Chain A
Amino acid sequence: MDPEVSRDTGHGKGQDLLLEPGHTLATVTDKISSIVLTRGTKSGWAWGFVASFALLMLFFVAVSYLLVKGVGIWGINIPIAWAFAITNFVWWIGIGHAGTLISAILLLLHQKWRTSINRFAEAMTLFAVACAGMFPLLHMGRPWLFYYLVPYPNPMWMWPQFRSPLVWDVFAVSTYLTVSLLFWFVGLIPDLATLRDRAKKRAAQIIYGVLAMGWRGSAVHWSRYEVASLLLAGLATPLVVSVHTVVSFDFAIALVPGWHSTIFPPYFVAGAIYSGFAMVLTLAIPIRKYYRLEDLITIRHLDIMGKVMLATGLIVAYGYMMETFMAFYSGNPFDRYMIMNRMVGPYFIVYWTLIACNIAIPQSLWWRKVRRSPFLLFLVSLVVNVGMWLERFVIIVVSLHREFTPSKWDMYYPTRWDWATYIGTIGLFLTLFYLFIRFLPMISIVEVRALVHETEKEEAA
């Protein structure tokens, strides 16, 4: 037996498997495609969809009111001109990072455990980026002029201000969205063809048929598919690092104490992957239970994702530590004040909740028992999601509310419209996700079939 391969798939060790035994090519295809095609709409799905759709409506109400009244309906004021909107933007875009990491970097690194989670991690990325992209636009005050951020031929003979990180954001996020969408779609094509071939209804045949773009599974198709996947993975890999780096520049290039720091790019990227994996777990654990996919998304997957969270969480903890250390080591009174204000200032509860959520509680992932208990892991992932949101709140609001000049000091309290917009995007995200798990194969059929094939080869050996 080849020990290389057995470490990849977990077979031959009599323990952690990436795929429960007994699966053949046919059973994998049946199991995944039946969720979309034959099992029909389940009541649990329907109720979940209704709830998310209601939240989406809340989002529309909040945005309509915002367009009528302007950003004054939020709790922002002049020192704290950026509050919930940018907190949510960074939070969502961070969540989006796990998808690309799983699909691109882990593909290039030949990590077999990515196969059954990459599809919905990528979908999650797309939906999270969609939610993220809206906040800077809504925050602009006159969102209908958002196209001023794009360099296009115009009768003003104006370029966007290329020295502004807002413009960098536009390029970073739109590139990320485009590459993620292409990656996701290219990966879907063979599965869409499977659905087309298995669909019984004419409408489904036509829709999946159009989306499958004439895939016949010939050797030429497969070879091009492999090349395209690799090329896109190569394109997407730098994006994992670049997008959140650019987002961190929004802060790092400003002079505000608590923002003006060179540690921001790496610490933001680690935080993004941390929150991304937390969100993957938050979604994967209920889904695998509800759709009985425990044999495809095994305990081993959860275990590995728990370890990734632990590792990135430690990097984030290091970031917090260095921020605090540098504030004192630099001798800069403003930096020192900023850190003390975080710890004992008016928002101290937020800071210490953040430390509890992002550093203290996730230390439980050192225990194998926690990583292998779906319920406990789910709880930890929720806590990390909250913690990462609080981290952005602390960076943005708590840094801004005590800037250099005491006459500018103020407090920020979110209004109901702040909350409605934020919770509304969660509704948008979940609505899109519910539609995705109902109408598209949420696990890559093709890649799991490849995994079956490898497992069989191994067993034969």
Chain B
Amino acid sequence: MPQIFHHSTNFISRMSIYGAVLIIGGLTYALYAIAMSPWYTDQNIAREQPVPFSHRHHAGELGIDCRYCHTSVEKSSFAGLPPTQTCMTCHSQIWTNAEMLEPVRASYRNDVSLAWTRVNALPDFVYFDHSIHVNKGIGCTTCHGPIAEMPLTYRAGTLYMSWCLNCHRQPEQFVRPKSEVFNPYYEPPSSTHPVVAEGREYTDQAAMGRQLVKEYKIYSLQNCSTCHR
């Protein structure tokens, strides 16, 4: 009887067993890598805006407080976007002829809001409240990243549920003194850089976190209905 297969088939069939394992493993990894990549999550990708507003300049170099523009962040679920009038408090006096700011002036003249592109948007099935977070010692930069260093604003987290749970499962790793919540340059305590929290000085986050979680009555809320109401 003639041979049906060439001799090399033995090798190919053996290799295909290992190959299958490698391909399945590789595909799984590739899918996960895509799901975590900025290409898919928009993490770290600056958005085009009608006016190239720089948080680095305003919040960093000039030191304007977050709450000057995001006025409702301490009282409401929504941090609030400033009306054009807020911009014009300064820009009616300085850079009044800058071409870059023409859309702002046009908005003011015509009484039409600027249409900013949303950078951090959670899906509608997630309930999120800014006020409870900032009132319990979670700083702006914990979620929004190094905002004082962003010439154009980008999303600092993936906004995946794992990203939320990372903190909800271990809030002591992220909590900071309430006095530091709006400090965009805040750094967690270290031996070279101690942090004073509620009258005590700390040199490591673990000790401070434990104490603050107790003091601020922070619970590790992980019930589905905490956010999916």
Q: Which residues of A contact B (CB under 8 A)?
A: 153-158, 196-197, 205-206, 209, 213-214
Contacts and interface: CB of A to CB of B under 8 A. Distances in A.
Contacts, number: 28
Max chain B C-beta neighbours (<10 A), residue from A155, A156, A214 = A155
Contacts of B163: 155
A214 B8 CA distance: 12
Given A155-B35, A155-B36, A214-B13, A209 B4 contact: yes
Interface string B178-212: 00000000000000000000000000000000000
A157 B4 contact: no
Interface string B131-171: 00000000000000000000000000010111101100000
Given A155-B36, A155-B160, A206-B4, A214 B10 contact: yes
Nearest to B166: A157
A213 B161 contact: no
B58 to A, nearest CB: 32
Nearest to B29: A153
Given A155-B35, A155-B161, A205 B4 contact: yes
A156 B162 contact: yes
A174 to B, nearest CB: 16
B39 interface: no
Interface in B1-26: 1, 4-5, 9-10, 13
B70 to A, nearest CB: 27
Max chain A C-beta neighbours (<10 A), residue from B4, B5, B9, B35 = B4
Nearest to B163: A155
Contacts of A157: 161-162, 165-166
A145 to B, nearest CB: 13
Contacts of A158: 161
22 contacts: A153-B32, A155-B35, A155-B36, A155-B158, A155-B161, A155-B162, A155-B163, A156-B160, A156-B161, A156-B162, A157-B161, A157-B162, A157-B165, A157-B166, A196-B4, A197-B1, A206-B4, A206-B5, A209-B5, A214-B9, A214-B10, A214-B13
Given A155-B161, A157-B162, A209-B4, 18 more contacts: A154-B162, A155-B36, A155-B158, A155-B160, A155-B163, A156-B160, A156-B162, A157-B161, A157-B165, A157-B166, A158-B161, A196-B4, A205-B4, A206-B4, A206-B5, A213-B13, A214-B10, A214-B13
Nearest to A202: B4
Nearest to B14: A214
Contacts of B160: 155-156
Contacts of B162: 154-157
Contacts of A153: 32
Q: Sorted from nearest, which 7 A-B pairs have the closest CB atoms?
A: A155-B160, A156-B161, A157-B162, A209-B4, A205-B4, A157-B165, A155-B162
Q: Majority SS of interface residues in chain A?
A: loop
Contacts of B13: 213-214
A192 B123 CA distance: 54
Nearest to A199: B4
Interface residues of B, number: 16
A196 B2 CA distance: 12
Contacts of B4: 196, 205-206, 209
Nearest to A206: B4
Contacts of A196: 4
A344 B1 CA distance: 71
Nearest to B224: A158
A158 B9 CA distance: 43
A303 B163 CA distance: 64
B31 to A, nearest CB: 10
Contacts of A214: 9-10, 13
Contacts of A209: 4-5
Nearest to B165: A157
Nearest to B169: A157
A7 B4 CA distance: 43
Nearest to A205: B4
A153 B165 CA distance: 14
Contacts of A205: 4
A156 B159 CA distance: 10
A206 B161 CA distance: 49
A158 B224 CA distance: 10
Contacts of B158: 155
A362 to B, nearest CB: 46
Contacts of B161: 155-158
A327 B100 CA distance: 81
A209 B10 CA distance: 12
A195 B15 CA distance: 25
Contacts of B36: 155
A153 B162 CA distance: 11
A153 B32 CA distance: 8
Nearest to A196: B4
Contacts of A155: 35-36, 158, 160-163
A157 B222 CA distance: 11
Contacts of B5: 206, 209
A156 B163 CA distance: 8
A86 B160 CA distance: 34
A206 B2 CA distance: 13
B8 to A, nearest CB: 13
A433 B4 CA distance: 29
Nearest to B2: A205
A206 B35 CA distance: 40
A193 to B, nearest CB: 11
A205 B5 CA distance: 9
